[in-house]
Amino acid sequence: MMHKEPAILVFDIGKTNRKCLVFDRAYNVLLAETFDINDAKDEQGKPVLDLGALTTAMRGLLHKYLDEPALDLKAFNITTYGATIVNTDADDRPVHLPWDYLRAYDDSVLSRFDMHYGDNGQVYAKTASPRLGNLNTGMQLYLLKHQQPAVFDSIHHSTWLPQWLSGHFTGQLFTENTSIGCHTLCWDFARGVYPYWTHAEGISRLFPSMHAADRPLKVTIAGRELMAGIGLHDSSSALIPYLMSIPEPFMLLSTGSWSICLNPFNNTPLTDDELKQDCLCYLTYQGRPVKASRLNAGFRHEEAVAAIGLQHGKDLEFFFRLAWDSSLAVRMRDNAASVDIEPAVIDYYACIDAIVNDQIEKIALVSSAHIRTLFVDGGFSKNAVFMGMLRERLTGWEVRAAEVGQATAMGAAAVLHNHWNGLGRPAGLVQFS
């Protein structure tokens, strides 16, 4: 008889990149494929997510892997990008296409909200949400109520995208920590409840009951019994492998286009000053606050490398191959570079030095006195010059390059560990270099 590998399937739905991954019990990726769907058009004629096309594709993939002879699929889960809410009627049918969070917000509606509920910015501080328009998903509902009241009145449930997609398979809709705790304006972090304004506007009644992300539902699909996760927001999902693998308090610097510094062990309330400096809070799947700051480091690096390369006739590989040289950094800062050092190298060191200076400030905004361990993952973790300068500046810290393959999907798989895996506590989810 052919051995069938116990496995879990995860749908990792990014805004532009959609993946289906299958993990074994050691959280190795057994199978992975990307899939695409056509966008729908909203009432403004702009492309938005086509929920019907997405769920059709997901169901097809789930059936495909259920039929895979070498797999014994035990469970599945879903993780998606945030700031996207699905409004459904009494029959759980969407009453309109989901909004793209990048669409412009009506300033007059925003001013009205601030006049009634802003409390000199306190509503943003209490909900740990910078003022971001449609990126604050609660504001999507507020705008609907005041500009499209007939649509708002037809809403029976408002559910964040990961939980709505899960509900498509389970028939049950829930509200979940990582989705509502992500700059939504809909969660009071100090009190652990929906904030006053959501009650006053009749919005909180639209949210389904709360349910923990590590408590899956038992479902039967194509005659097979599976454990179905209720879904997670992607940024919080990517933190799960670290929380499961690292017993001591730590901070994580997740780098890419944006560098997000996450401190899961700082539960002090977000101050107005921190908010003004683009800090915010997330919730872990367990409901604990994660203080975070962000820096557009990846964007800056990309622009700077292009400019330096053009000026000095160097390609991207030239900069990626550069090693860390502390003496060179000193000479660069002292303007003591000599003819034996290429100008392109000096300019690149200066670029990284400026980024690291700003990164240190962002780290300090969310740091805790008892934490002196920083893990760096993503693109900058492989940049020897960046890592060298960061270690040089963070004296007394342990700064380590870390890597989690497919971290977002792995987090969504590992959060259901006790319900499908059969092995002990996950180990080795994070690799260090």
Distances (CA, A) of 227 to 68, 74, 76, 209, 221: 18, 6, 7, 19, 10
For residue 273, what are the CA distances in angstroms to 121, 251, 269, 270, 313? 11, 21, 11, 8, 43
Tell me: do 405 and 282 sit in the same domain: yes
287 and 218 in one domain? Answer: no
Domain co-membership, 347 together with 431 = yes
Residues 202 and 251 placed together within one structural domain of the fold:
no
DSSP-derived secondary structure letter, 175: B
CA distance 433 to 431: 7
Q: Are residues 241 and 225 located together in one domain of the fold?
A: no
Question: Quick one: 265 and 209 in the same domain?
Answer: no
Q: Which two tokens stand for residue 278?
A: 């683009």
pLDDT for position 330: 85
pLDDT of residue 264 exceeding 80, the answer is yes
Choosing from 230, 257, 292, the residue where a domain stops is 230
Q: Residue 211's domain is classified under what CATH number?
A: 3.30.420.40
pLDDT tens for 266-318 read 988 888 889 889 899 999 999 999 999 999 999 999 999 999 999 999 999 99
Give the pLDDT confidence of 364-383 residue by residue, as tens digits.
999 999 999 999 998 899 99
175 and 86 in a single domain? The answer is yes
Q: What is the pLDDT of residues 309-330, one digit of tens each?
A: 999 999 999 999 999 999 888 8
Same domain, 320 and 216: no
pLDDT in the model for residue 2: 66
In which domain, by residue range, is 217 found?
5-230
* Same domain flag for 191 and 262: no
For residues 305 and 426, state if they share a domain: yes
pLDDT in tens, 128-140: 999 999 999 999 9
- State the chain's mean pLDDT as an integer: 93
Same-domain pairing of 105 and 147: yes
Give the count of beta carbons closer than 10 Å to the beta carbon of residue 154: 14
pLDDT higher than threshold 60 for residue 91: yes
- 325 and 191 part of one domain: no
Pick from 230, 247, 274: which residue ends a domain? Answer: 230
**Cβ within 8 Å of residue 281, ≥6 positions away:** 128, 181, 189, 270, 289, 290, 291, 292
The total number of structural domains that make up the chain: 2
The answer on pLDDT for 204 being more than 60 is yes
